[in-house]
Homo-oligomer: A and B are copies of this chain.
């Protein structure tokens, strides 16, 4: 009965991506730990780029810097 919580920034994660992630993580838990799929929960949480920080900046700020770096 694993519970997997996956957090990613809200940057273009499609329905198909979510299906692939849920199927892939569940398969992995079956193969590695022999867990029952029916008792394996996988939850995906999408986080706005204003709400995710790395290196002391929000991802919104980082993306702006990255775009300027490309100009």
In the complex, A49→B51 CA distance in Å?
18
Chain A positions 16-71 with a Cβ under 8 Å from a chain B Cβ: 17-29, 31-33, 35, 37-47, 50-61
In the complex, A15→B49 CA distance in Å?
10
In the complex, A60→B19 CA distance in Å?
10
Q: Which of B17, B28, B35 is within 8 Å of A32, CB to CB?
A: B17
Given A17-B33, A22-B56, A25-B28, 6 more pairs with CB closer than 8 A: A1-B8, A20-B28, A21-B28, A21-B29, A26-B56, A42-B54
Show 19 residue pairs from A and B whose CB-CB distance is below 8 angstroms, ordered by the A residue.
Answer: A2-B8, A3-B41, A4-B4, A7-B43, A18-B51, A18-B53, A20-B32, A22-B56, A23-B53, A23-B56, A24-B32, A25-B28, A26-B55, A28-B28, A41-B41, A41-B53, A43-B51, A43-B52, A45-B47
